[in-house]
Amino acid sequence: RTNKQRLWDSLMEMGEIGGTEKGGCCRLALTDLDKQGRDLFVRWCEAAGCTISVDKMGNIFARRAGQDDSLPPVVMGSHLDTQPTGGKFDGVYGVLAGLEVIRTLNDNGIETRAPIEASVWTNEEGSRFPPAMVSSGVFAGAFDLEYGLSRADLDGKTMGEELARIGYAGSAEVGGRPFKAFFEAHIEQGPILEAEDKRIGVVTDAQGQRWYEVTLTGQESHAGPTPMPTRRDALVGAARIVDMVNRIGMEHQPNACATVGLMQVFPNSRNVIPGQVFFTVDFRHPDAEVLARMDQALREGARRIVEDLRLEMDFEQIWHSPPVPFDRDCVASVRKATEALGLSHREMVSGAGHDACYISRVAPTSMIFVPCEDGISHNELERADADDLAAGCDVLLKAVLERAND
Amino acid sequence: RTNKQRLWDSLMEMGEIGGTEKGGCCRLALTDLDKQGRDLFVRWCEAAGCTISVDKMGNIFARRAGQDDSLPPVVMGSHLDTQPTGGKFDGVYGVLAGLEVIRTLNDNGIETRAPIEASVWTNEEGSRFPPAMVSSGVFAGAFDLEYGLSRADLDGKTMGEELARIGYAGSAEVGGRPFKAFFEAHIEQGPILEAEDKRIGVVTDAQGQRWYEVTLTGQESHAGPTPMPTRRDALVGAARIVDMVNRIGMEHQPNACATVGLMQVFPNSRNVIPGQVFFTVDFRHPDAEVLARMDQALREGARRIVEDLRLEMDFEQIWHSPPVPFDRDCVASVRKATEALGLSHREMVSGAGHDACYISRVAPTSMIFVPCEDGISHNELERADADDLAAGCDVLLKAVLERAND
Ligand SMILES: NC(=O)NCCC(=O)O
Ligand SMILES: NC(=O)NCCC(=O)O
């Protein structure tokens, strides 16, 4: 069994870095705060006897040697970056659960046949640098290194520049080495486990996602003397598309999600008709075909709206992450561990993307979910229960041991 | 006759302060650039023999003495601040036309019975510090001084602080002194004069305006695992209200204008359901009753929309500027001057608010419009013709002379 209190204390200590008044955490990827969080993780891992390596995307691997160190490692992990209104658990839990597994093995003097690694993946959230899961994506060959390092925030700063600035542009090649298995523990970020009073989600799949960037261009002009019929108001166009995105999501229930999360209005002055609006669209569905129909509806609907309003549109799908089926054996290891521990559980599909989604392309992978309060995350009020977190960590320990010793 | 070339050169020189690549001007109220523009105006006026005074709202008055200096002055003027995507003419023209009138009187050694003043009104645009026409409003008693100085930008900086910072917190009391008359020359900012090939707009009225600030609050949450039916997406609410604002404008044609110009989304991250959106609404109509009906439609419609989406709403009308009828005698002076100069003209209602709207509460007031290309302003492409600008300035000169000598 892992140490519930130690896991909790580590989560709380990490959560202070970027901690917010409302009890959440704002530690955007590759900021000074992200550096502080990484430094703390590295210190803890070194104290636990691990060897650290950092790759060119800033992914961190803390390795606990195995009896046969030539075997591929069993890897655990997730991410330390958060949303602007993030919580203390999303990502961080999967990282520190990995560390807790290593600490528990140390406490009990347990050796494993294969080495074990706890990992941190850079910029999973995709909030500062879109898209999400960039660095596990590079690791898995979904993106090339060039693409990863050139992702830029809204101020034009690139991941490459910011990695160098905070001292986490490592020298290891990104990917190209085998994992025996990869396990990611995470809060569910949805309401299902809590509603059904289950402790553990045995994650079998992750839904597909498509992300878009849209720029509408009309003509800025005076809000007073410019007659309505002659206007080309980019915000009216954006508003109609936001509403349509929402309807597309509702029309593809159950399971579809459709969100406009980011919008920038130009020139953003009260008495100026907006001349340009930039916004993003996030579509999700577990079924690739439904996701394709949603894509179709968006493209056709947006075209009609901008034609009506005589706007110009720049429309780009910037990311497509197809639905992911996790490895049957890894899923079975998680289920077995859960049952052996006598924990209530159910199978589930992940609504969020996770580093595990990309890693599953290059290694047998699965995930372990624990409940979070009201299913809320990407919110400062995100909360999880210490017992649930410890239970998920115990499942992780058991699944890892099985894989590392088989 | 005024000096066309000198007027144009002065406009171009002033337009360099904050000049943009696209040929426009970005000189927001009380920025360093606004200070530079004010300094240039003051230098020019002193060179033309004027005495400068600055009041506590930073309004500048450049006075050319009259034969009887105890008479109330005839005042000309407008504003030097611009929109973020402003042009070189909106406001600036009315200020420099006033200066050009004074320079022309000097050139010709003409004395007037009453003194003449060219004025600059602080923060007319209301873009940085809402509402619009704040300082002419304080001058006219529509707002008290406290209210004026405490207007704040989106960063929380107040007009009082910024006036002190740029050295334009003057010592003169704001208002409380009579004007014999007030004339404001301005580009039309609409398409009518150009469409009808008229040189001069004799402005009889200005339409009414209502400005609103709306904050919608829902709950930020993850765009992936949060089911559509349980969401409280503040941006979906804002989008529906933007669309409704546009429809209210269309339903009250002709003459109604309805605009959402500014919107801020929180936390503004691609994969987070927006938890809060702040936006503004700008309604205009020449008829106070129609404007009241638009207000009613907005309040009722917005309430329905937020109820549907289970959002909270903070809704405030932050400004109401009722329709303004200008002074019949001042309008007649403008018409007479126009006819005497043989210029084509028509009567018109101003679509924009102007400092003249407030000054008309405390002094006989009217306005002179000249055409602008495609009716476009609050846009870097705003353009006006040197001959039209000079024609408007000639009308101003004639109207001012009539009033100053009667
Ligand atoms: N787990 C998580 O919040 N990932 C961010 C990527 C996504 O939006 O799904
Ligand atoms: N003239 C002008 O652009 N005034 C700004 C105030 C308004 O929005 O009407």
Protein residue with least CA distance to atom 5, ligand 2: B125
Our CA-based measurement puts residue A268 at a distance from the nearest CA of chain B, in whole angstroms, of 4
Amino acid A24: pLDDT: 97
DSSP assignment of B45-101 equals HHHTTPEEEEBTT--EEEEE--SSTTSPPEEEEE-----TTB-SSTTHHHHHHHHHH
Give me the tens of pLDDT residue by residue for chain A, a chain 406 residues long: 999 999 999 999 999 999 999 999 999 999 999 999 999 999 999 999 999 999 999 999 999 999 999 999 999 999 999 999 999 999 999 999 999 999 999 999 999 999 999 999 999 999 999 999 999 999 999 999 999 999 999 999 999 999 999 999 999 999 999 999 999 999 999 999 999 999 999 999 999 999 999 999 999 999 999 999 999 999 999 999 999 999 999 999 999 999 999 999 999 999 999 999 999 999 999 999 999 999 999 999 999 999 999 999 999 999 999 999 999 999 999 999 999 999 999 999 999 999 999 999 999 999 999 999 999 999 999 999 999 999 999 999 999 999 999 8
- Beta strand pairing status for A60-64 and A116-120? antiparallel
Which residues touch B128 (CB under 8 Å, ≥6 apart)? B28, B29, B30, B31, B81, B153
Kindly give the distance from the C-alpha atom of residue A90 to the centroid of ligand 1, in angstroms, as a whole number: 9
Q: Ligand 1 within 6 A of B5 CB?
A: no
- The Cβ of residue A3 has, within 10 Å, a number of other Cβ atoms equal to 15
CB-CB contact of B367 with B356 (8 Å) = yes
Spatial separation of the C-alpha atoms in residues A152 and A161, rounded to whole Å: 9
Q: Considering only CA atoms, which of B403, B49, B372, B36 is closest in space to residue B193? A: B372
Q: What is the pLDDT of residues B328-376, one digit of tens each?
A: 999 999 999 999 999 999 999 999 999 999 999 999 999 999 999 999 9
Residue numbers in A near B229 (CB within 8 A)? 250, 253
Q: Which long-range contacts (CB under 8 A, 24 or more apart) does A40-44 make?
A: A40/A13, A40/A14, A41/A14, A41/A80, A41/A95, A41/A96, A41/A99, A41/A120, A44/A10, A44/A99
Buried b (16+ CB within 10 A) or exposed e, A182-205: bbbbbbbbbbbbbeeebbbbbbbb
Spatial separation of the C-alpha atoms in residues B120 and B103, rounded to whole Å: 17
CB-CB contact of B57 with B169 (8 Å) = no
> Helix or strand or coil: residue A365?
strand
CB-CB contact of B389 with B92 (8 Å) = no
Protein residue with least CA distance to atom 5, ligand 1: A125
Determine the residue among B244, B269, B319, B350 to mutate to test chain A binding: the one whose Cβ has the most chain A Cβ atoms within 10 Å: B269
Q: Ligand 1 within 6 A of A126 CB?
A: yes
Q: For chain B, give me the number of helices (H) and strands (E)? A: 12, 16
The answer to whether A161 is a known ligand-binding residue is: no
Nearest to A85 among B272, B280, B379 (CB): B272
User: Nearest ligand, CA of residue A378?
Assistant: 1
- Across the interface, whether the CB atoms of B257 and A230 are under 8 A apart is answered no
| Secondary structure string (H, E, C) spanning B286-301 | CCHHHHHHHHHHHHHH
> Helix or strand or coil: residue B196?
coil
First and final CA of chain B: distance in angstroms? 20
Spatial separation of the C-alpha atoms in residues B180 and B400, rounded to whole Å: 10
Residue numbers in B near A230 (CB within 8 A)? 191, 375
Amino acid A225: pLDDT: 95
User: Nearest ligand, CA of residue A79?
Assistant: 1
Region of A89 please: left (phi>0), alpha (psi -120 to 50) or beta.
alpha
Residue type, B322: P
Q: What is the pLDDT of residues B11-44, one digit of tens each?
A: 999 999 999 999 999 999 999 999 999 999 999 9
Residue numbers in A near B259 (CB within 8 A)? 223, 233, 271, 273
pLDDT confidence bin for B142, thresholds 50/70/90: very high
Query: Is B232 in CB contact (< 8 Å) with chain A?
Result: no
Which residues of B fall in the annotated binding site?
79, 90, 125, 186, 378
Spatial separation of the C-alpha atoms in residues A363 and A188, rounded to whole Å: 22
What is the value of pTM for the model shown?
A: 0.96
pLDDT confidence bin for B204, thresholds 50/70/90: very high
Tell me the two tokens of residue B135.
Answer: 């300082």
| Rg of chain B, C-alpha, whole Å | 22
**Chain A residue closest in CA terms to B309:** A246
Q: Ligand 1 within 6 A of B271 CB?
A: yes
Tell me the two tokens of residue A187.
Answer: 């809060």
Which residues touch B307 (CB under 8 Å, ≥6 apart)? none
CB-CB contact of A55 with A176 (8 Å) = no
Q: Considering only CA atoms, which of B80, B71, B85 is closest in space to residue B98? A: B80
Write the burial class of residue B228 (CB in 10 Å: 0-12 exposed, 13-18 middle, 19+ buried). Answer: buried
- Beta strand pairing status for A51-54 and A60-64? antiparallel
- List strand residue ranges (DSSP E) for A188-254, in order: 200-206, 208-217, 221-222
